[in-house]
Amino acid sequence: MAPDRSPDESTRDEKPVDAPRSPRTSSIDPGGPYARYVLGVLTLVYVINFLDRQILSILAERIKADLHVTDAQMGFLYGTAFAVFYAIFGIPLGRLADVWDRRRLISWGLTFWSAMTTLSGLAQGFVHLALARIGVGVGEASASPAAYSLLSDCYPRARRATVLALYSSGIYIGSGLGLGIGGLIVDRWDAAFAGGVSPFGLRGWQVAFFVVGVPGLLLALWVRSLREPQRGTIDGIISAPEAHPFREFFREMSSVLPPLTIFRLRQLGATPRTIGLNVASALMLSLAAILFTRLLGTPAQWWSLALGAYAAVSWSQSLAIRDRAGFALIFRTPALHFSNLGFAFLSFTGYGTGFWIAPFFVRIHGMSPTRVGLLVGGAAAVGGWLGVSFGGFLADRLRMKDPRGRLYVGMLNAILPLPLTLAMLWTPDTRVAFVLSLPLYVMSALWLGPGTSTVQDLVLPRLRAVASAGFLLVVTLVGLALGPYTMGRLSMATGDLRWGISIGLTANLVAFVLLLLAARDLPAAESTRIERAVAAGEPI
């Protein structure tokens, strides 16, 4: 069935390469010195991004004791509370990145999430900390879609997997620093005031949030000084500047936030059938949330997931009406669907083990947070950086020989970490477990460059940020919202964190099958993207 027509459907034209530049943009030598400078600054932003996100892992045992929360609730705080709002706000912020100044957007978002990280240190209970983590998720949603788009305009297609992998190395450097800094602060502070009253009655985990939150406020000023590259020049498809970018942002926001979703669909001229399907999806997701709450408890987990899924449904309906070409490329490309889901299931085990590995060493091997933070954090930073960098390099090399080369790297990532993770979990020797954590981080990080660059190559330049937001929506809902929570629930059910993580590793087998399906259709999908967009009404 053809999508409904929109009364305000976008009429942006794709201009030829010699179109005049917007005064807000500038020419950047593709892959040149300034492009490398931009890559360095944005990678540092991503380091701060994951430092603020991952520090919760090393603080988990102290927070559990002080705020009286369970493993499942900790998984919710790290995963779902952050992920759902990161995913939902990533869509309108991704749209804003496609039509506005990307460096300013990243700068504003960095300021907001750094402030919310600092406020996490003032939490007096589970609800307070959950609200602060939601704020961190909303702020961080501004960064990656805009960064993916900006870097894709600084580097040619043949180098994008490597470049986006180097950017993504910030995940592991930031995660490692989060573990190391958090463990050091919490141990030193609590030891210093073990026998008396600390300043303002603060605990070590609260101070740790303060320490990591403040640097982001300063980095935001640096990001604002970057130059904005001309959008689409490298690909020869330059989009005309958007006259009212924030109008587009608020329109996109109304497409994902209930009850504005219904009003937005009506404004776009949706048929009664489309609106009926939207309402039906809301009812079905609500019933699912009620059912899972009764079976498993933790209502916040399931209602948050229902909200995220409903936002995805509403956004797809809205996009189908107002941007047929965008809908066709993002929602009618099976290779993109299978690829996004495959990488999302890799992130399920990546986020799950990434969160629980520090509590595993503290709980199973009796290590102090300081030692775990330094050793495991160091392994995460070094191993993750090596893995994500090599994964991007290998993906670009394989793609020169076969369009599916990047997906082959994802398949390797699905298989190689399994024996390493199981060996690390079940060896009784603490030193062996620590040694195994290094190659484990290397093998688990291969997929990031291939995953992000695959999305960029399957859509038009004007859709890169919003398509990346869609990719991140799937990755965060499947990986971040479900991975840590599920492994925490399995830990509670089995009474052993090792079993919780081990059972969760089966997600990698699902990822392998999905990436295999994506590889079957990817060459045709990539080579026909412009033709399919034109057939859907794209004026190129």
* DSSP reduced 3-state for 45: helix
Which of 452, 323, 465 has its CA nearest to residue 396? 452
- Rounded CA separation 138/310 (Å): 17
With a cut of 50, say whether residue 204 has pLDDT above it: yes
With a cut of 90, say whether residue 466 has pLDDT above it: no
Residue 405 lies in a domain: yes
- Rounded CA separation 59/56 (Å): 5
- Residues 153, 30: contact at Cβ < 8 Å? no
- Rounded CA separation 339/356 (Å): 26
- Rounded CA separation 276/273 (Å): 5
Q: Which DSSP category does 152 fall into? A: H
Least confident range of 116-120, 215-219, 238-242, 268-272: 238-242
Total domains in the fold of the chain: 1
**Tokens describing residue 470:** 């869609």
Which pLDDT belongs to residue 464?
80
Tell me the residue type at 501: I
Bridge partners (DSSP) listed for residue 239? 14
Residue 338 lies in a domain: yes
Residue 439 lies in a domain: yes
Tell me the residue type at 508: N
Residues 6+ apart with CB under 8 A from 148: 164, 167, 452, 455, 456, 464, 465, 468
Predicted TM-score (pTM) of this structure: 0.76
Residue 18 lies in a domain: no
Residue 171 lies in a domain: yes
Which pLDDT belongs to residue 236?
65
Q: Enumerate the H helices of 121-257 as residue ranges.
A: 126-140, 143-152, 160-192, 204-224, 245-254
* DSSP reduced 3-state for 197: coil
DSSP secondary structure string, 221-259? HHHHTSPPBPTTTTTT-EEPPPS-HHHHHHHHHHTTSTT
Cis status, amide bond into 30, omega within 30 of 0: no
Overall average pLDDT of the 295-313 stretch? 89
Give the domain CATH number at 431. Answer: 1.20.1250.20
* DSSP reduced 3-state for 14: strand
Which pLDDT belongs to residue 508?
97
Overall average pLDDT of the 410-425 stretch? 96
Encode pLDDT of 56-89 as tens digits: 888 988 898 888 888 878 888 888 888 888 888 8
- Rounded CA separation 506/499 (Å): 12
Encode pLDDT of 507-519 as tens digits: 999 999 999 999 9
Residue 14 lies in a domain: no
With a cut of 70, say whether residue 241 has pLDDT above it: no
Which pLDDT belongs to residue 234?
73
What is the pLDDT of the chain when averaged over all its residues?
87
Residue 13 lies in a domain: no
* DSSP reduced 3-state for 508: helix
Which pLDDT belongs to residue 497?
93
Which pLDDT belongs to residue 25?
55
Residue 4 lies in a domain: no
Tell me the residue type at 415: I
490: containing domain: 23-194+201-237+244-535
Which pLDDT belongs to residue 27?
66
Which pLDDT belongs to residue 293?
93
Which pLDDT belongs to residue 429?
95
Q: How confident is the model at residue 9 (pLDDT cuts 50, 70, 90)?
A: very low
- Rounded CA separation 329/403 (Å): 18
